[in-house]
Chain A
Amino acid sequence: MTSQKNHTSTISDAVIDMRGLGRVFGRQWAVRDVDLEIPKGRSLGLLGLNGAGKTTTIKMLMGLLRPTAGSVSVAGFDPAVDSLEVKRRVGYVPEQQFIYKWMRVREAVVYCKAFYPTWDDATCDRWLKTLELDPHKKVKHLSKGMVVKLAFVLAVSHQPEVLLLDEPMAGLDPIAREEFLDGVVQTICDRGVTVVFSSHTLGDVQRLADEIGIIHDGRLLVHRDVDDLLTQTKRIHAVLPNGDVPTIEMEDVVCQRVRERELLVTVSSYGEDVLGQVRSAAGADHVEVEDLVLEEVFKDYVRGWRMAS
């Protein structure tokens, strides 16, 4: 399986850098051998099934979990060593919020503000207003969507360099989701933050991501610019003339399976030559090429990994 990076970046401008990153729970590797660099101002969308290792990866970036293997650097600091420095520079919104329920919105703001030297009241007030959060309301009286929006305000008011969003929009209604996404987009516009986020909603990933990482079984199966991933990953349908299933030995093959008399080969960098190779290997004279939406790309990477292992 190949992991491709098509953007031009040097190590020096990587705000987030993971090398051989791994984490064991008990005997199980939740994350294994992850190498990832994210340059300043770019956003990475992590795709993966539940338990694939997205949350574990993001927690290691935040310094909430210590890596078992490899190293991480976030905004120039190692979260395992300087977790305070990392937390000062990162805005983090997890899937579940645990803000003290007895706090009023204003109290939660004052509480968080105390820990950040870079806190900006104007940013905070603007967002509270935009997202229609009543400062006098108690957290326990807020809806789930409202609490997530509050968590967003708390995560961006200290003007972070990095945003880590771990499926914050899960279970939100479409309007709250749109507002949240809008907030993230505006923060990217205004501050050029580097973003790592995970989401089950592939449409949201496509809106926000410059790059996509597909994680499965704790492994990073692919890391690529979203445009390349969508335009170059294609599924080739070849009708098998005599029912024999050929084996195609190509580096570019993401996933290969047979459905009825049809061979489906998904390739990571489509071209005429690739098509020719598949055609001749299958011995087929009729082939068709299918463009894939992100969901299909994701599924084929997971299928391919399952078949290979």
Chain B
Amino acid sequence: MSVDPNSHVPIYEQIIQHLSGAIAAGVIRAGEPLPSIRNVAVDLVVNPNTVQRAFQELERRGLIETRKGMRVLAAKDAAVVATRQSEAASKARFEDGIAIGRAAGIPKTRIKALFDESMRSKGNGRRKAEGDKQAE
């Protein structure tokens, strides 16, 4: 895990995104411990207060729970919750994109076509990367 200290996304937000991503993808499964605040802070070289706030936010969202002895575990339905939240986040991004298009007066059908195009370009990118690997 690493953070970009020069991003417009606060480090706090970056940690949340990263950990909930890890939980959604099953890297950290329900009931498994998360790294300690101290370890995360020292690893990323960021203020432990920031890490703590990220953990609090993850707990509020129901992704992690704090047990006795300050052990932090991924919550029972963490993966489901995390996936749902990731869905909501990507939906919000789509909505932003649609809003930009609408504001510039682009018709709905064209926006939909642009969406499909982006989906394909992502896919193309992945296939290309695999092709490169085989070529090596």
Taking Cβ atoms with an 8 Å cutoff, the residues of A that contact B are: 41-43, 178, 181-182, 185-186, 188-189, 202-204, 206-210, 226-227, 230-231, 286-288, 291-295
Chain B residues with a Cβ closer than 8 Å to the other chain, count:
25
Give A295's nearest chain B residue, CB to CB.
B6
Give B47's nearest chain A residue, CB to CB.
A208
Q: Are A207 and B12 in contact (CB under 8 A)?
A: no
**B129 CB within 8 Å of chain A:** no
Q: Provide the main secondary structure of the chain B interface.
A: helix
Minimum CB–CB distance for B88 against chain A, Å:
17
- Inter-chain CB contacts under 8 Å: number: 70
Chain B contacts with A in 44-77, Cβ cutoff 8 A: 44-50, 53
Q: Are B10 and A226 in contact (CB under 8 A)?
A: yes
Q: Are A185 and B6 in contact (CB under 8 A)?
A: no
Question: Given A207-B5, A291-B8, A294-B6, A41–B49 Cβ distance below 8 Å?
Answer: yes
Q: Are A286 and B103 in contact (CB under 8 A)?
A: yes
Q: Are B6 and A182 in contact (CB under 8 A)?
A: no
Rounded to whole angstroms, the CA-CA distance of A209 and B53 in the bound complex is 13
Rounded to whole angstroms, the CA-CA distance of A178 and B100 in the bound complex is 40
Query: A202 — which chain B residues lie within 8 A by C-beta?
Result: 5-6
Q: Are B46 and A208 in contact (CB under 8 A)?
A: yes
Query: B50 — which chain A residues lie within 8 A by C-beta?
Result: 210
**B27 CB within 8 Å of chain A:** no
B94-106 CB mask vs A (1 if < 8 Å, else 0) is 0000001001100
Query: A287 — which chain B residues lie within 8 A by C-beta?
Result: 103
Give A179's nearest chain B residue, CB to CB.
B45
Query: A209 — which chain B residues lie within 8 A by C-beta?
Result: 47
Option from A182, A185, A203, A288 in Cβ contact (under 8 Å) with B47: A185
Rounded to whole angstroms, the CA-CA distance of A41 and B8 in the bound complex is 25
Q: Are A185 and B42 in contact (CB under 8 A)?
A: yes
Q: Are A231 and B13 in contact (CB under 8 A)?
A: yes
